[in-house]
Amino acid sequence: MIKPFRGIMPKVHPGAFVSEFAYVVGNVEIGEGSSIWPGAVVRGDAGKVIIGRNTCVQDNSVVHSDDLGAVIGDNVLIGHGVVCHGDKIGNNCVLGNGCVVNGGRTEVADNCIIAAGAVVLEKTKVPANSFVVGVPGVVKGQVTDELLRRFKGNIDLYVRLGQEYKADGNLE
């Protein structure tokens, strides 16, 4: 479902896929090749939410921001059941299933992996190429090129899958 809020309609690129069972509302932009899956909520009611190209918001995840807004980069994989309230998520990042990225000037730089179940606290600045685990989330190492390649395959898969769902008429 794609709905306006305060007279602002979400802008969804024609090449993006939004499931008819997702909820996208307000000041939101979704880039080409991106996909928003069933049960996902993307709320642009407090601040603008920008989702880049080829980014996947999987089932039952929530993307929201405070009045500062949020920018989620290109080629980002937001796993199942994620709460993403961060102000900036860089390009080529993975937010593992069930993780939480809190708001309040929180930034995750490019090429980072936030492990499943991790909690990134408010005002955290995660450096580029970091692997974050735990509660609260701490950097436990660097992301390897091999790991980034593996997740790139998952991102490519979701771009294709979104297009297949769209072709079958499974969209708003």
Task: Classify the C-alpha dihedral 107-25-59-16 as positive or negative.
Answer: negative
Check whether 19 has a pLDDT greater than 90.
yes
Of 64-73, 118-127, 147-156, the one with minimum mean pLDDT is 147-156
**Which pTM was predicted?**
0.95
Delineate the domains of the chain, giving CATH numbers in brackets.
Answer: 2-167 (2.160.10.10)
Report the chain's C-alpha Rg in angstroms.
15
**C-alpha 32, offset from chain centre:** 14
| pLDDT tens by residue, 61-111 | 999 998 889 999 999 999 999 999 989 999 999 999 999 999 889 999 999
